[in-house]
Structure 1
Amino acid sequence: MQYRKEPLENGQIYHIFNKSIAGFKIFNCEADYFRIIETIKYYQRYPVPVRYSELKRLSLPIQQQILINLFNQKKIVEVVAYCLMPTHLHLILKQLAENGIRILMSNVENSYARYFNTKYKRKGPLWVGRFKSVFVQNESQLYHLSRYVHLNPISANLTNKPEEWFYSSYNEYLNNIDNNLRICDYKDIISIKPKTYREFVESRASYQRQISKIKKLMFD
């Protein structure tokens, strides 16, 4: 896989990936996973009136008013799909504004690092470095990439079914999630019925599981 170093272009879709330093576990519980999901949703728009950590310290009515005003702004990035893993994350993003992906990732990674270090009384960087990006060249690549992303928990033997991993966008694609919990807007990009998409993803699940087992045997 070849990573891009040149500027990311508006209107284009990219696979974004980053991981923790030295394989450090950065999501230890459900609250950690949902914290970064909320953070991604918040920083899809720019500029924001306050940091997300500051927002969480405000009274609920003030939080709600800030979010109402913020969500009326245009997005700088569209989240097409995502999957959070214990030591890393995958995002499929469409850039809508100049430097949108860079701004989003900087805000999300810094915000989550502050949250994590405060919660777990830790110091120092959390991420291995700058995020990596791969340009998605066509629709076929996008479909297969989304399947790869959603099958990550299967490959890592974290679950038997992708819909049982609640820290990815797979259940959004299956319409198994409340609207207020959604962070993706993919229907103008990936046009596929939930049943068809499930079949497309699950047709590969067994293969992914077998490949994972073979790799484990090779390196044990």
Structure 2
Amino acid sequence: MPRTARIKSVSGYYHIVARGIARQVLFEEDADYLFFLKILKKYKEEEKFKLLAFCLMENHFHLLVQIDSGMDRVMNKISTTYAKYYNTKYERIGYLFQDRYKSKAIESGSYLLSAMRYIHNNPVKAGLCSVDQYRWSSWKYYDGVTGMVDADIVLNMLGGKSGFMEYSMYTGHDQDDGYFEFKDPSRLTDSRAQEKIRELLHMESGTKIQELDRVKRNKALRILKDGGLSIRQIERLTGITRGIVMKA
């Protein structure tokens, strides 16, 4: 079946989201977030597009950009460079990103502001922290830090920093709620994950897996991954390093 053609923005503004394939974690540690931001800055300068906002979450990322042409080329550069880095670092093979990034054309000032607020609020909606405490978003560039983000576009629309802060206080629904929703209803709490370990492996504790030989250990880890436990949960609850869990 042919892909649906993207809707081209007359204004050149887009809200872009890309996520890891099958909920694959994209950022395992601080160094991964920093590398992604490094290549984002590099390709922004090379391709000369404007970056108004970003937010890097564990298994997906959001960008708010103004780009007149070549969006597919830009996204291909970013995803290919990052996937090569990630797969080499974690001794992984195969696709890292879900088939195709999603994008929405933005044609009004109100929608542009709503998309910016939605992007910054991702950590809040995920229950991680307040917007000003999250390290991997563009919020700090609206709070006095200068650098790679073209914050003046939004700040001028809102009358400066105070207007931005007032606008960002809103906690209701934005226009992109639902369309770019990446909540995972199947994600288990740690307490439920511990129950799953007992149900699936008939072990009183995940740390018991450490006592198995390599073949049995890897089989047990695969059972837990297939059972819905995240790699980070398995690492926490079994004491087995993330690299071993990922390769199993």
Settle same-fold status: TM greater than 0.5: yes
1:59-86 residue CA offsets vs partner (Å, 9 max, x unmatched) = xxxxxxxxxxxxxxxx431111111100
1: CA distance, partners of 2:134 / 2:9: 31
Give the aligned partner of residue 15 of structure 1: 15
TM-score, structure 1 normalization:
0.72
Determine whether 1:24 maps to 2:24.
Answer: yes
Higher alpha-carbon Rg: 2
Tell me whether 137-146 or 75-84 shows the greater mean CA deviation.
75-84
Amino acid at match of 1:139: G
Is the CA contact 1:117–1:123 (under 8 Å) kept in the aligned structure 2? yes
Structure of greater relative contact order (alpha carbons < 8 Å, 6+ residues apart):
1
Determine whether 1:200 maps to 2:167.
Answer: yes
- Is the alpha carbon distance of 1:105 and 1:201 closer, same or farther for their aligned partners in structure 2, counting shifts above 3 Å? same
Amino acid at match of 2:14: Y
Alignment partner for residue 87 of structure 2, among 97, 111, 117? Answer: 117
Give the aligned partner of residue 134 of structure 2: 165
2: CA distance, partners of 1:158 / 1:140: 27
2: CA distance, partners of 1:37 / 1:76: 16
The percent identity for this pair of structures is 27
Is the CA contact 1:143–1:190 (under 8 Å) kept in the aligned structure 2? no
Is the CA contact 1:9–1:95 (under 8 Å) kept in the aligned structure 2? no
1: CA distance, partners of 2:110 / 2:152: 15
Is the CA contact 1:24–1:87 (under 8 Å) kept in the aligned structure 2? yes
Amino acid at match of 1:136: I
- Is the alpha carbon distance of 1:216 and 1:118 closer, same or farther for their aligned partners in structure 2, counting shifts above 3 Å? closer
Amino acid at match of 2:21: I
User: What is the alpha-carbon root mean square deviation over aligned residues?
Assistant: 2.8
Compute the displacement of 1:130 (Å): 1.8
Is the CA contact 1:83–1:150 (under 8 Å) kept in the aligned structure 2? yes
Amino acid at match of 1:202: M
Amino acid at match of 2:57: M
Is the CA contact 2:11–2:106 (under 8 Å) kept in the aligned structure 1? no
1: CA distance, partners of 2:55 / 2:166: 19
Determine whether 1:137 maps to 2:104.
Answer: no
Compute the displacement of 1:10 (Å): 7.0
1: CA distance, partners of 2:28 / 2:51: 24
Gaps of 5+ in 1: 47-74
Compute the displacement of 1:186 (Å): 3.4
- Is the alpha carbon distance of 1:219 and 1:86 closer, same or farther for their aligned partners in structure 2, counting shifts above 3 Å? closer
Is the CA contact 2:10–2:107 (under 8 Å) kept in the aligned structure 1? no
